[in-house]
């Protein structure tokens, strides 16, 4: 027997805003779509363009071919796109050596961190990168400079143990998708130990990461549970789940799709908060709300904590006025 609205328990969904796509992700996806339109398939993409399986599969269906390394490309005359996370300097050098035509979809805010690292290196500073080992953005940032130039610090304990060659000539930079609070704690330790350490002119953690975390902090204490829509390998999505837990939400889960919902996690709830990582499309948020609407009498309230108006230019070759 089907459940009627009269027998469904009420559920208030607090929808965090901002959520979902940031300007860097939006730009990266546009670059792949426009390249497919302009040059036709296949267009190769090195690494997942953004960390979201739904997005990757959608682009694959349009003719994008995803590879981990350039040597996997069996049609080297076709365009290749570098992902939003950024790449080590060796990757474009390799592409040039292979006479490949490439488009760089690196988020401009990640490129900003790359430039900072290069400036510090020119000033002969020891460089500390706060980030997560193995993340493509960290690999790309450390790969802007010779091996051993940048020291990765992941935790407060790492910051306490760090011993630079020259304590008076230091600088720190960060991955753009970190927990604002965790990063602040690490920076406090570094500044206490090394008062002259140079910092970025403008915060490295990107506006979208910060805004999404602040929205979660605003709603988490009022929610019985929170869903973060995003991929398990998405750093900014994982940080949103952690922020929700720390902000007092008893149940905080990261889900990719509605079919991943474990309904036992949501027994007896009356308020559910939902947000989405910066690489998760809105259609997946709607899918999850629809799934809850089959079991609950859902009312949706948007909770907005910031407005975002940031946009980034496309590569020159893909702009409408670009010469053929």
Rounded CA-CA distance 35/38 in Å is: 5
Structural tokens at position 322: 């670009």
**Owner of token pair 């600088």:** 171
**Owner of token pair 């998760």:** 280
Structural tokens at position 259: 């079919």
Give the 3-state secondary structure of residue 39: helix
Rounded CA-CA distance 297/7 in Å is: 9
Rg of the chain on CA atoms, in Å: 22
Task: List active site positions.
Answer: 137
Structural tokens at position 164: 């630079």
Could you give the C-alpha distances from 149 to 49, 85, 120, 165, 205, in angstroms and in order? Answer: 27, 20, 10, 11, 21
Angle at 41 between CA 84 and CA 135, to 5 degrees: 20
Residues 113/204, Cβ–Cβ less than 8 Å: yes
Q: What is the DSSP string of 167-227?
A: TTSEEEEE-TTS-HHHHHHHHHHHHHH-TT-B--SS-SS-HHHHHHHHHHHHHGGG-SEEE
């Amino acid at each position: 027997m089907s459940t009627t609205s009269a027998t469904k328990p009420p559920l208030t969904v607090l929808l965090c805003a901002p959520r979902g796509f940031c300007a860097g992700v939006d730009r990266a996806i546009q670059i792949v779509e426009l390249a497919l339109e302009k040059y036709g398939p296949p267009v190769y993409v090195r690494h997942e363009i953004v960390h979201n399986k739904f997005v990757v599969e959608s682009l694959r269906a349009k003719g994008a071919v995803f590879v981990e390394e350039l040597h996997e490309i069996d049609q080297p005359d076709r365009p290749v796109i570098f992902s939003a996370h950024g790449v080590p300097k060796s990757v474009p050098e390799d592409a040039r050596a292979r006479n490949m035509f490439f488009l760089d979809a690196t988020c401009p805010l990640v490129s900003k961190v790359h430039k900072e690292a290069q400036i510090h290196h020119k000033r002969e500073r020891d460089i500390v990168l706060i980030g997560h080992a193995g993340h493509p953005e960290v690999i790309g940032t450390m790969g802007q400079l010779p091996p051993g130039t940048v020291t990765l610090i992941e935790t407060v304990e790492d910051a306490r143990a760090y011993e630079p060659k020259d304590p008076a000539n230091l600088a720190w930079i960060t991955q753009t998708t970190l927990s604002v609070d965790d990063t602040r704690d690490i920076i406090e330790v570094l500044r206490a130990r090394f008062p002259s350490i140079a910092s970025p002119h403008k915060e490295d953690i990107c506006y979208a990461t910060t805004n999404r975390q602040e929205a979660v902090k605003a709603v988490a204490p009022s929610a019985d549970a929170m869903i973060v829509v995003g991929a398990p390998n998405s750093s900014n999505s994982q940080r949103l789940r952690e922020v929700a837990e720390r902000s007092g939400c008893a149940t905080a889960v990261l889900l990719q799709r509605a079919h991943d919902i474990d309904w036992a996690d949501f027994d007896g709830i009356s308020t559910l908060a939902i947000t989405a990582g910066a690489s998760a499309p809105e259609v997946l948020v709607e899918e999850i709300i629809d799934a809850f609407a089959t079991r609950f009498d859902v009312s949706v309230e948007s909770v907005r904590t910031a407005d975002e108006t940031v946009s980034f230019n496309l590569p020159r070759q893909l702009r409408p006025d670009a010469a053929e």
